[in-house]
Amino acid sequence: MHGPPWVGWLLVLLCVATGGYCLSRVRTGTVAQRVEARGEALMGLGMAVMAVPSSAVPMPPWSAWAFAGVFGAAGLWALAHRHPHHLVGSAAMVHMALAMAAMTAVPAAASAGPAGHAAHSGHTGTGGLPLLTGLLLAYYTVFVLVAGIRLVPAGPVRAAGSGPAGALAAGRGVRREVLGACRVAMGIGMFAMLLTL
């Protein structure tokens, strides 16, 4: 990704933390919750690897195609299982991976001499397709705002009842809030990564 290295490292930390939390949820909850946790863990950890600044750790030339393959398969899985948010996330990751592949191809073509320069004279310098990037940015803006609003308590917060039932209800409420906060954090991370294309 482009941009200052410190932004990339902040994105790595954010995505590792959220992806790690989602990975910790893979063995708990209902089958649907575990499946969702797997998808979110894959997304968070994949975003973390993709956000590593190339100035610090150069990625091999094939890495962009590996990202596109993994998240293309994840997108097909999300489509088959009717998970629209995971489908959009996978599409965004494939979009960014293909933009990375195109950007790594430009220096290689430039080193090929005038023929390579002529072949890439139409390259605009922006990663990805601007219209698709804009649509994905709009989606993640709305997603983060809506998910963030859901985190705000609707009314005054009441203390949970005493005893095991009250503690269990409080634990579920905290878990839901942490999960919602993770979704907001991953949405912000995706938005930031799309901006740095």
Q: What is the pLDDT of residues 52-78, one digit of tens each?
A: 998 888 888 899 999 999 999 999 999
Query: Would residue 126 be called left, alpha or beta, if left means φ above 0 and alpha means ψ between -120 and 50 degrees?
Result: beta
Write down the pTM of the prediction.
Answer: 0.79
Look at residue 176 in the predicted model and tell me its pLDDT. 77
Q: What is the pLDDT of residues 88-98, one digit of tens each?
A: 999 999 999 99
Tokens, residue 120 = 């890439």
Look at residue 11 in the predicted model and tell me its pLDDT. 93
Does 119 have pLDDT greater than 50? no
Does 161 have pLDDT greater than 60? no
- The distance between the two most distant Cα atoms of the chain, rounded to a whole number of Å, is 76
